[in-house]
Amino acid sequence: MLGMNDSSTPHPTAGPTNTGTGTSRPARRTLLRALALAGVVAGTSLSALPPVATASAAAPETYTLTIRHLDRAGTATGGYRTNVTGISGPGAEASASPYDASGTVTVRLPKGRYLLDSTLNGADAAAGTDWIVQPRLDLDHDMSVTVDARTTAPVDVRPPDSGARYLHSMAFVEATHEGTTRSANIMMSSAGLRVAHLGPSAESGSVKEWIDTYWSGARADYALGYTFTSARALTGLVRHPAAASLATVKVRGAAPGGAAGTGFVDIQPSAGPTVGLVQPLPLPGTATFLVTPERGRWDVGYAGPAAPDTPPNRYAANDFAVRAGATTTHTFDNAVFGPALDQAPGARPAAVRDGDTLSVDVPLLADGEGHVPSAPRFHGATTTLHRDGVLVGTRQGEPGRAAFTTTPGRAAYRLTATAARGDGTPASGRVTASWTFTSAAAPRPAALPLSTVRFAPALDLDGTAPAGALVRVPVTVQGEAARTGVRSLAVSMSADGGATWTRVPVTDGRAGFRNPGPGGTVSLRAELTDTEGNTLTQTQTHAYRTR
């Protein structure tokens, strides 16, 4: 059993724990996902709470809180862990984790609204764990609270596959009052969680709760999550979803060039904290997950096997919608590798002019679906900048990433970024993108008008397509030209590694041509001009192979 919160400070006890915290969600979510990817599921307990109450130096009005703990037989028990976390009022920053082996403990705290949560474990570990949450504890006089395991009801969430194996689950509660949110959670690596609300109801809509359970089946894995917003914490939960009510998510891990090995796939809901499911994936291969649409949008990640002297290559597809009865598929680490620009609203520009500084960060080696790798496999990368035909500078290092200092006046620029893929041999291929545009210093940072072209042929998971086949390769424009419009776009292909090129027709967003014979390669080139006169010449040699 595992209890977790937003801190990496180890707590000296093991077993399920519960915590209260006001840490921001991005930091919490980053830690939880990192723990999931690291395979931390059981035998660890984390807590950021001090063992005694803390209060401000102003010595506010305080009251005594007495907490009694009863097990499922109604007997006083010392097998508990209780946290009291301030939400609002003078005690907003106070917190305590009081303990006394007798089962009755007192603590003195400043006046205010608190979140109390308590985990109780009986002598028989197989009997499960009780988690009781009081989202509204208004401490304005000396008072007593009884945490009673007899009030709990089971969390009974099961997939439609009776043979599926339970992996772990997590319950998380947020309580909000006067604009401040505090939280508590419990994670279980064994079944048998029971939960209950304690105390009066809070304000309508001020309590949010997530419960996620993860299972492994013979043909698919399951991520079953539910979200609730009300004035109370949950007392029990029963969900036995039918297969037809679940959405299917397939994650395909490629092995381009015939490489093998084992990757890792993870899945978790996009909203709210959780520790998702991580499974190994022999490559090339496909992992199948059945998930609950009620939990909202979802994230998946993929980590490829580490190559010599390089870390594992990580990709992610985040915040995508799912629908009951429908299948969503994400393919990672397959060709065609090439430049990609983030098209999400409000995304950070890939290139910016700030005064005399021109900064570039264009992912040159995104995979065939546009997922950007954390550690792209490349052998040498160069970025150069010319101003009115005169070299400003050359930078070497990470593909598509560089910064240059230029001069204020308006001028014509040519920016060129190139990277050799894989081990740098000619057969591994090379990606080059060259942009022209005009630019001048401005009073505030301004995005540079860059565009890219994405090619998305239908490929097997080894990065190959049928030899001699007539193909229609989807062609997508990203960046400035997608926003302002395309004046012209020409696509060419080469069957001899770029020694010669053949212009091919583009109809309805697809480039048509015939693949070369078995064991050949296809190289692709795009020449684009947008309606403002900015240009792109993009070349991807040995973009994919034929079989």
Rg (CA), the chain: 28
DSSP state of 76: B
CA-CA distance, 442 to 410, in Å (whole number)?
Answer: 10
Non-local CB neighbours of 466 within 8 Å, separated by 6+ positions: 515, 546, 547
Q: Which domains does the chain have, with CATH numbers?
A: 248-332 (2.60.40), 351-546 (no CATH)
* Percentage with pLDDT > 90 across the chain: 81
Average pLDDT, the chain: 89
Give residue 274's pLDDT.
87
As to burial, measured by CB atoms within 10 angstroms (0-12 exposed, 13-18 middle, 19+ buried), residue 527 is middle
Confidence of residue 423 (pLDDT cuts 50, 70, 90): low
Q: Which region among 122-136, 201-215, 486-500 has the lowest average model confidence (pLDDT)? A: 122-136
Give residue 112's pLDDT.
98
CA-CA distance, 254 to 463, in Å (whole number)?
Answer: 7
pTM: 0.85
Across 359-382, average pLDDT: 95
Across 177-206, average pLDDT: 96
Question: pLDDT tens-digit profile of 195-206?
Answer: 999 999 999 999
Residue scoring higher pLDDT (306 or 27): 306
Q: Which region among 18-27, 121-130, 309-318, 467-476 has the lowest average model confidence (pLDDT)? A: 18-27
Longest CA span, the chain: 86
Question: pLDDT tens-digit profile of 234-247?
Answer: 999 999 999 999 99
pLDDT value at 473 more than 60 = yes
Among left, alpha and beta (phi > 0; psi -120 to 50; other), residue 118 is: beta
Neighbours of 409 (CB within 10 A): 10
Give residue 309's pLDDT.
67
Non-local CB neighbours of 308 within 8 Å, separated by 6+ positions: none
Confidence of residue 422 (pLDDT cuts 50, 70, 90): confident
* Percentage with pLDDT > 70 across the chain: 88
Question: pLDDT tens-digit profile of 385-399?
Answer: 999 999 999 999 999
Across 127-138, average pLDDT: 96
Distances (CA, A) of 221 to 124, 254, 263, 445: 29, 20, 16, 46
Give residue 59's pLDDT.
74
Give residue 305's pLDDT.
86
Across 104-119, average pLDDT: 98
